[in-house]
Structure 1
């Protein structure tokens, strides 16, 4: 139902079609009494008259209904103030309609239709309520207040106003208006009314919001939005600054726009493109012109300092790490600022949220919505879950995938296409989009990559062949100290990795940690990597990791450099840290070994050594055989370096349980070293030590003991009692005594081993912990369960922390401690331990090798 028929008639001058022009008020209107309500009626009547000549009848209908409502309120003789306040708020919406139709004319089209019709229905509901109030004779003020409270009129009006503003912003975007220049002003409906009324009588409200709305398919991010809401709601008596930082394509801008769109915290909102100094200056220049305070950037900053309202400046895309944003921040203790950036350093300005991948549920919803999937089934959701997982929950990648799915209807086999064409799919810009973001996943990172220095770009590319996590400085610093053993690649073969590493070395050849940190920081300043200071490691987002390898013009060259650096780094690991270092380096070696199509310098021996430390003896065997074959083409079997490689292969055979092959190799190595080096040479003693272990594994502990006694005595004489090799000989002999059932002798030696390793290596070193574990096992055999418990309760948690719950040594320590608890009658404690992550059934306490 329309109430427009009640509006006052007016002359009909010729009008240009599609333009909503203001008209002077009629004489009957101007003769009304000049109180506030009468002025509202004058303006509303004129707006209705003007609406008759607009091409949009729904505007005329809404304005006419407003006139009817005003007249109804005017006829309420008692207690009008509550309703008059409501009418003033409604007038602001009419002002917005007039200003936008006057400015844009036919360009608004049908976009305002739904809002105007909803607005008119709301006004009609108010008319009914006011009519009911007029019929009552008692308690009018209380009824009005109840109506206001129960109907949430203020919230409704605010909702209409916000929706109209959103539509206006959409129109601005469609017509290509520069958002830094666009102003939304809620002016008085008629120029004639401005002329008729004094400035004191008519206030011209101003509200600026030149931010585009958030994407229509925005999903999730509740935690970040809630944190922002809580932060800006605080009365801190200082300026609120919030930084959203993260990888390009993670959705920082959309989160900010969504928060601004839904927040009621701010008065004026100003959008500033912070890509460069020039765009920031342009944004602030426009603020100055908009507010008529000048035409320079500094004029706007000074003006903001004087404005104590809750204004907001949104600095979007402040990505350049060389840009000093500080000089553009108003120096005052009021106002609000939101910053989006790829540079995490900007978090120093205030509160912050790192922005990365989405929650799985939200990512699935985003993919299905952007993919225009209708009548979603559980099968669709499962396929979507698989897709977003492959895309690592990155919003931009998900939206691109959704656009492709919507265009070609390929949800069912998108992953097959992605597996074969991921570079193309992540580069391709959708023809239809849901936001103003101009870049694809790959192009947005390319822009950041192009700003890196050569050293930073090279480091990122080399790391693309490593595992994406756990990349540490010591990988490179150890490689820089490579000492060129005689059986490894030559200096000429390693020229390229040496040239790269020299960028992080001083004139004295020593490693320059600051130079390396500066390069890593350069990469992290674009969020192409993240750095964990406590662990001194950095990691790369999996999609960035893949992209940085995809863009390589010379992948084989970069692979060979990375392959060589890892091999050089393994050779630089001190023996006492070998096993711990293997845990950190192993994922990187695994990653490098995937690229079998590339051939680099021969580091088979180094890689085989690492796999041996990590107890992956099958891989170690293959690499050691390969390296030995290559070396034998250059050297004879009697060459000492050849014997070193053969010895390593023999140790691997022993670990694999191929004991006869191991014995054959080790007997040969011992004999040749005795001949070449003599009985007392350390390499001869090492060969004897390895052969003794094999004899023990062959079930010949007495033969093993005879060799081990010789090794222990000679190492004491040559190296001293406190040398780690001497201590290792003690531990090996103690284990043999335990095999022979001589537990008292084993205990005496193991107590010494624990004491010396604690003093030399520290209480948390893996070798110290293993010695404590072995001594605890011996205590169990001697029925000294209290002593065993004291060691095991210290060792087991450290094994879990260092090695993880699934490591065999961790599992063994849990089983042994549970057995000790049962022996002490602590059944509940034993049950609690046995409820820990799965342990191997049938694990024996006798399994405690060095």
Structure 2
């Protein structure tokens, strides 16, 4: 390294306020902006000038034009700078010895490379900034320009250009290695930067749109490197598949030190919130590469003060942000790239090759690699590309959308490699049996050698051949090596077993077409076995989800979905289970249908594989809110199993349990409870009382009892399950925490509000510690906690907490999911109770419409929602309309659930009030008496709801002037309320103030 020191020249202390034009190649913009930032902080004026003169312009003329700029000219030099054009070395030396030497007082330079510069650059006396820290680099810069050292005259705030280029962003994740052969695109890159910088706050999204192979990914990677000094966080997200995208984006959460678990949905929700707030970093850049499906924008796309850069073939992105069309290379960019990659080419030869390949970057990359590595004459190469001689194109079908010249060019490469590097071709064609994009090719090396044919045994036994083959394909630009950020993976370079490569989808398609059917069949079988060998075998373990996300894109290309191999089939099912446990419901629904299509041709419907598929598919459909589809699938399966004489009891138990779950969601509560009892009895007989499956069946029995309003029975079951799970699993196991929520819910519904609140507060702390604040189960626990706080008479205003939870739930499930809509309704009830009628009306209308669409108008939830609508109407003074809603809800639920269900009794309480307010006093009193009698039987004498019924009856008796009985009933209610809830509880206070009680319907699906 050059260690020379620069002395400040005479008169340096007087040199303040000078103007400098900083001339740089686009590749080194971060250095130019840092130099600008430092000079301006010392009181000088600067102009940035990106310089890449066309090759047709003589170099002396181009350098002479720089002299038209004001002040001094600072050249930011590197070996890359002298490749501009590209131009011959003697042309550079001549220009430096001429125009620069003649104006040496105007020119100065800094050097950013440890490689030897041209000899003639000595005239510039470049200050060497390579490999030194920021303070020393600044000192050398000022000394070279003969400027005074010392503290800055006007320190500039941190921002674009302030970071020293050798200091990387605080977080740098998975960005592809910088392509030192990247060519041109400077205007497009500057356009992208302007789009992002000029966007409104919170909407900085720019999308690079163009055909496959046009260079979008390379542009995005170059942007990340070129403008990295503007950001504290730069994170790359491969978005070829939804699962890969969610996993990779979610991996940023722990890098930002967010306190979250490993579930992708939970990580994404916490991450989007952190990015929105700008904590811990405001200046971030997230790059989504290959994001073509816009369906998941609301779930994934982050907003905030940072920037989002997307590459896509989908032109519909313009509704979400600015789009930049990425065309092919301009001709001078094509020829410049070819001549740098293959220096033996003349300008005329490069022009001919670029013309033949249509200036398509991916075709030029391959051609340049071939011409740079081989000794084939350019004329011979062009003739073969034009004529297709000897490359066997006739056998490879149609090439719609792919230029024939590109197919021919690849054929030339593959045919020549077959002669010189046969292992490289074997590895290349093997990769076409994976999906395009990221390929975990190293997994092949952990396969048992016996599972490989003799001809491919070298893949696991001959590491030098493996390395040579992979290096050859990288050198010929067929692959790029994936560069995982070592700070996020491991402290050493990955070994061959961890290697991954990236294969462009267009290259993947071309090579697949040029692969014989026999080779493809063999290689797909190998890849299927590799996927099975890589299966960790436990899709419930969230620590293994990244591996499953890595394998998922390769199921269909490898033919795994139609495999007859038992281990491969089990891996396919494990990937479906992964979708369920990780919350990838949409992907799981699609995958399950793909599997069913393939397996239906291989197995009869009653085959154990099909039964297991049905179980998993039904679970995912149900979790996704497709209750009717899950029911029809599970019902047909159970009927078929029951019709067979030799079906084993375990399969029947599982199928029955699935159908019972469907019935609960569809409102068939009595039938579901009966089936669930069968499931529990079978589980006890087959597995014993302490088995995980038995405890799950017991928990589901509690759910069924709760839905039927049998709260005390449900509590006994749930408490028993909780204790067993604490013993058999652990207190912090997710299933144990679910039982804790169930017990707290039972206690609340039993009217034991204080006990319910105490239990749920403890459960809430455990959920946050174990699962994280944004896990779906934690959100369910928080929802129950808010309801417990409300019923316990908490003095705090819960509006903010409910609004915040609603925002979280919407991010997790979407606005139309049943869990989110349940909170929408409870929030609406709370708003009405506290006088915000406008918000209450909006929320209750949204909830009623949503549940009716999801469940149908006859479902108990949809019917019960009419009572909430009636309460809003009544609060707004629309009493006749409110009574209609009350009566409809009461009659509908009584018909479906029977007269003694707590939901029916609640609707009756509201209907009696509606009758009273509209002058139907006798009818109101009769209904109140009947409701009180039934409530005492169903819920007990001292249940808060029963006491509300007493208060309501007293009001109706007073309206009929039966004051003596009214006083007696009211006094009994007040005493019991004070004893049960406390004299200062809102219910007790309202009763003393003779406010008419009401009942909120809480939609609960189980």
TM over 0.5: no
TM-score, length of structure 2 as denominator length: 0.38
> How does the TM-score come out when normalised to structure 1?
0.43
Name the larger-Rg structure.
Answer: 1
